[in-house]
Structure 1
């Protein structure tokens, strides 16, 4: 029986028809789509239903990307929109990055990426009132992801905000096929931890800036704030595109968070694949790769760049308002009364409680690891940033 595969010409044609885009497509974009389709096909076989589901997801992502290009021509002001003094939350997952992003996004002058921005980005928010259907589509798409992987509600509880949940910048890069974020591509049943920035990180960040302009144009927002975890891979490229950026690097002892890092990946990709994957060997290899990357970063001059604010996790959770004030002081901004009140209300709202869906038991033995080994592996990192592990974490 002939294997069923994704057909690139079908995807390109269907995406063009969905977007109403019949001009020449950027050759590099088309090549990235082709490479991704080939990568998927090589990991088959697939059933006809799986191929159809994947095709629809990829088709819509590409159509959204074509809409962005068309909007940039339709609204010339987008390309002229300044992106001044953006704030990026960077650092390892589970180090308080999501909490910090949520608090920074409470500023009424801030523009932060939301789930509907990656799922239904056109027309740009500044073009006029956003119709209810766009929000409904994004809500439905987020819910389909939660239905497939309900563990997200415990592991990443802000997913229940639907279309209005804050997203990571890696979702925006997925629109340009520079990475494959699982919440947007959960219908690919062989997806794994595949963060590939094809074409170089500098090109990815330049595309990112175009999306930021798209989302900020004509909105009256003062600055951009987002969570851009992979940016720490190449901060030089980030600062080249955003020379006046401020990166808030959240730090926490890796021995406190590495088990939860693995658990999140396991719950996510096991749900997508529909079977348990081998996380024992991956967990050890990934830890060693992270340690090597950390060593390179600590030996780099950029680690002491004044555009990076190093923030210990326990400082953030111990004094959230004080942390925001310190960040804004670095920027030379005032924390308005309205912003302060919004942060207070957000922190007091039980709908934002991190344990409202329960607690997940993060431990090392299920992944064949020992906490002491992780602690020793990243001892240099903890020493460099004055981090002390809490044994009950």
Structure 2
């Protein structure tokens, strides 16, 4: 058994880069928490080396990122009126984000940019080696997690794919995003959060990537429902489109899709316990949305999953109108063409069943009745 040492990993990152400032004096403590988690997993030599490489890569990336912000006028970049797509995982938000990104007047994050952000990618040429490196990384990720291309076909864009906002703080050591931790044979896990600090880092990433580029409207996607105060604190002029789906279907789909990811990474998974953990984590979100006054904030446009699936482009047109934006004909055309050429089942049909739920389905329907009533959601039946 090889034991990882957080202090050694941090010192190595500083020595290899010649840089010292992580931009946050609390970061070493979070690295130590992650290292403790990995050491408790009793990784073999290969796993420990992969973990050390992953941690080292995140640490050096952060050091270079902070150095860029110290020596370049990145803080002068204004992030104006961004659009955010949100909703519980498995609610259609990735398709929504992909369609929003088809508008040539908008800009979305790309995986290669957040995986290898330094130096700022704005001046990058078409053959920037970071693009090819991110593509190769994604081929390795999909090789490690074969079911992911079925449950999430958007991964076929490889390094040009659209990351969730959460990926911008991977080097903050608060979440083990699969696209950062795929080399390490452990179940992904989240650590204590600081939403204000995370959105500050998110804002810095947008400034970083926008640098030297013509300003465009940012279109972003993440699971922001429990972090609204921090999001609006960072982006007071943001507008959010929030898709709501029947919680029972969301939970069942999450258990299968995310369970497949974790099983592929860790090599094994206690599916019964994983289902229980997923239910407990996600049901808390649905209940919290009923008591958070910010859910009714006038900057949020709520959409039913049923309506979005029936007419995705029409739903986006409604969001544009809500946000006071014109909906150009070119944007609508590009979105409709995307739907034709990017079928959701292009790598096979993702299947799941409510049989995976560790709680009786009717009990869950009863539990979430208030949520369905609040957002006008019908019980979803699947063929």
Task: State TM-score, norm by structure 2.
Answer: 0.94
Structure 1: distance between partners of 2:134 and 2:102: 21
Are residue 74 (structure 1) and residue 71 (structure 2) matched? yes
Structure-1 residue corresponding to 2:225:
232
Pairing 1:181-260 to 2, within 5 Å after superposition: 181-192=177-188, 194-198=189-193, 200-229=194-223, 231-260=224-253
Give the conservation status (yes or no) of the 8 Å contact 2:155–2:161: yes
Structure-1 residue corresponding to 2:36:
38
Pairing 1:118-197 to 2, within 5 Å after superposition: 118-129=114-125, 131-192=127-188, 194-197=189-192
Structure-2 residue corresponding to 1:388:
378
Structure-2 residue corresponding to 1:47:
44
Task: State TM-score, norm by structure 1.
Answer: 0.92
Give the conservation status (yes or no) of the 8 Å contact 2:242–2:300: yes
Instruction: Pick one of 340, 343, 347 that aligns with 1:348.
Output: 340
RMSD value over aligned CA atoms? Answer: 1.9
Structure 1: distance between partners of 2:78 and 2:245: 34
Give the conservation status (yes or no) of the 8 Å contact 2:22–2:63: no
Are residue 292 (structure 1) and residue 284 (structure 2) matched? yes
Are residue 274 (structure 1) and residue 264 (structure 2) matched? no
Structure-2 residue corresponding to 1:328:
320
Residue aligned with 1:27, SS: coil
Structure 2: distance between partners of 1:332 and 1:380: 31
Structure 1: distance between partners of 2:115 and 2:14: 16
Over 3 Å counting, the alpha-carbon distance change for 1:366 and 1:385 in structure 2 is: closer
Deviation at residue 266 of structure 1 after TM alignment: 0.9
Give the conservation status (yes or no) of the 8 Å contact 1:111–1:216: no
Structure-1 residue corresponding to 2:107:
111
Over 3 Å counting, the alpha-carbon distance change for 1:280 and 1:235 in structure 2 is: same
Gaps of 5+ in 2: none
Residue aligned with 1:166, SS: coil
Deviation at residue 20 of structure 1 after TM alignment: 4.4
Pairing 1:10-25 to 2, within 5 Å after superposition: 10-22=8-20
Residue aligned with 2:241, SS: strand
Pairing 1:300-379 to 2, within 5 Å after superposition: 300-349=292-341, 352-379=342-369
Give the conservation status (yes or no) of the 8 Å contact 1:197–1:204: no
Gaps of 5+ in 1: none
